[in-house]
């Protein structure tokens, strides 16, 4: 049982008048622990603490090298307890434990280690000649106090994508974890303390929608960084725009995987394609859920994918042989099942799945599902289900594949699969998305920018571009 009473402000857990929140396993309903729902007064105290640490504490006087070292020490502590963190995040999210070691923990460490390297060399100040004579000193100053709102599907990884560049830039923060997955984030406070990060630089307030709204609306927050649904991101963006405050929004996706006609459909490729949809029980924003296939090879691909999806083991995420665990809660399961029911009514064919599994008896499980006879205009091809469901869509030629991939309200990520890497790169360059993977189900590189076009968000996380989103440029004309 993991108990985190109160709110984490200025380096300590403080009492709060907010109600106690129960965190339960999506696999079986077992109570995993409790946190306290922060009140608006708690949020205000956390913002004030972050402001004091920024303007009056030692953090504002640190060098880039010192901040890089602090990020590295956070990684060191988490790495020393990686099994504990993996067990906890697997339990509260439902991620298969075998996948969690990489998808939840190694990814977080990868981000932290990358920023440990990038920060020390980042150009926070430069001198350039003035076109009017003399010189100009261009400084990159911290944007200020950051309010970071986290999702439940990959809480530690997304926390790292916000904490590392914000600390690198010299900012201070208030973190708000999702009510479905606050435990691993609360445990992370111990890593921050062990790393010697000064009190008030990182504060944690758990809670539901009201807590997040209080954080976004607080006038002392200079920038909001949000990862979550497009609907919530749209509201947050509107609040920030009204006050002319900065925001980064990493939102939804409906990513396409284009299989070109020369692809060698071997077991490794099939396994990667299936993993690109089913990892973390399909609860990945960049999941390649639209698989675009040449019409001439449609049946071949559907059969191969169907066999691989049917072979996936559904079960307890703590069991290291499990491939697919539960979705996060009852509402998520019911919503996914509604999409599947409507797809069937619209004429789609369920190659595998489409029904609720009979085992395990408890928990919020959805059978891994492959849907054929789908066209790109159908609801199931356009909406983000956030579950273990893939659709296979035929195309006529390369231009048609690109057109269908781009015909989406989202533009987060995509992949192109081909025996000819140069050809895949040319096709990928035509896609209106933030990241394109070639022959890979993982459209993410820790040292490169990640984010989306269209309804997939605003701004970028990752790489030097991630730091750039937490600084303000100042010119001093000499």
Q: Percent helix, strand and coil across the chain, each rounded to 5?
A: 40, 20, 35
Categorise residue 357: left if φ over 0, alpha if ψ from -120 to 50, beta otherwise: beta
Handedness of CA 298, 303, 305, 306 (dihedral sign): positive
250 as an active site residue: the answer is yes
Q: Is 247 a catalytic residue?
A: no
Q: To 10 degrees, what angle do helices 209-217 and 230-242 make?
A: 30
Listed in sequence order, the residues at least 6 apart from 345 whose beta carbon sits closer than 8 Å to its beta carbon are none
- The DSSP code for 461 is B
Q: What are phi and psi of 363, to 5 degrees?
A: 95, 170
Task: Catalytic residue, from 116, 285, 384, 461: name it.
Answer: 285
Strand 135-142: give its sheet, edge to edge. Answer: 125-129, 135-142, 471-477
DSSP string over 247-290: EEEE-----EEEE-TT----HHHHHHHHHHHHGGGG--TT---E
**Dist CA 402 CA 332 (whole Å):** 31
Query: Out of 37, 92, 180, 250, which one is annotated catalytic?
Result: 250
What is the separation, in whole angstroms, between the first and last Cα of the chain? 60
Q: Which residues are catalytic?
A: 250, 285
């Amino acid at each position: 049982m993991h108990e985190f009473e109160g709110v984490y402000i200025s380096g300590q857990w403080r009492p709060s008048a907010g109600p106690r929140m129960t965190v339960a396993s999506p696999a079986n309903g077992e109570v995993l622990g409790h946190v306290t729902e922060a009140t608006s007064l708690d949020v205000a105290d956390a913002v004030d603490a972050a402001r004091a640490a920024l303007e009056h504490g030692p953090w504002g006087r640190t060098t880039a090298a010192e901040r890089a070292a602090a990020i590295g020490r956070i990684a060191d502590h988490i790495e020393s307890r990686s099994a504990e963190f993996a067990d906890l995040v697997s339990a509260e999210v439902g991620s298969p434990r075998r996948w969690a070691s990489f998808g939840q923990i190694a990814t977080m460490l990868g981000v932290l280690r990358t920023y440990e390297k990038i920060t020390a060399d980042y150009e926070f100040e430069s001198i350039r000649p003035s076109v009017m004579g003399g010189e100009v000193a261009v400084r990159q100053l911290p944007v200020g106090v950051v309010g970071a709102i986290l999702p439940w599907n990959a809480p530690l990884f997304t926390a790292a994508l916000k904490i590392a560049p914000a600390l690198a830039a010299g900012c201070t923060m208030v973190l708000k974890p999702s009510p479905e997955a606050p435990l691993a984030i609360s445990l992370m406070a111990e890593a921050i303390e062990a790393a010697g990060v000064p009190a008030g630089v990182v504060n944690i307030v758990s809670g539901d929608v009201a807590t997040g709204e209080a954080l976004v609306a607080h006038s002392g927050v200079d920038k909001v960084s949000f990862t979550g649904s497009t609907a919530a991101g749209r509201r947050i963006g509107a609040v920030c725009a009204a006050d002319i405050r900065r925001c980064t929004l990493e939102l939804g996706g409906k990513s396409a995987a284009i299989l070109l006609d020369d692809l060698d459909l071997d077991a490794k490729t099939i396994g990667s394609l299936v993993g690109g949809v089913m990892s973390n029980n399909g609860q990945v924003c960049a999941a390649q859920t639209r698989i675009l296939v040449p019409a001439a090879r449609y049946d071949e691909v559907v059969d191969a994918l169907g066999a691989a999806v049917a072979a996936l083991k559904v079960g307890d995420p703590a069991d290291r042989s499990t491939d697919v665990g539960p979705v996060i809660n009852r509402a998520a399961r019911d919503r996914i099942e509604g999409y599947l029911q409507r797809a069937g009514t619209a004429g789609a064919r369920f190659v595998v799945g489409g029904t609720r599994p009979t085992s395990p008896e408890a928990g919020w499980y959805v059978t891994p599902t492959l849907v054929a006879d789908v066209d790109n205009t159908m609801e199931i091809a356009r909406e983000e289900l956030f579950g273990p469901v893939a659709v296979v869509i035929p195309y006529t030629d390369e231009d048609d594949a690109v057109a269908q991939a781009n015909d989406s309200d989202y533009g987060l990520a995509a992949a192109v699969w081909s025996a000819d890497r140069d050809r895949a790169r040319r096709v990928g360059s035509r896609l209106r998305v933030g990241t394109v993977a070639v022959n890979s189900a993982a459209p993410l590189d820790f040292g490169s920018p990640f984010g989306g076009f269209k309804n997939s968000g605003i701004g970028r996380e990752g790489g030097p571009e991630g730091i750039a989103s937490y600084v303000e440029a100042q010119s001093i004309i000499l």
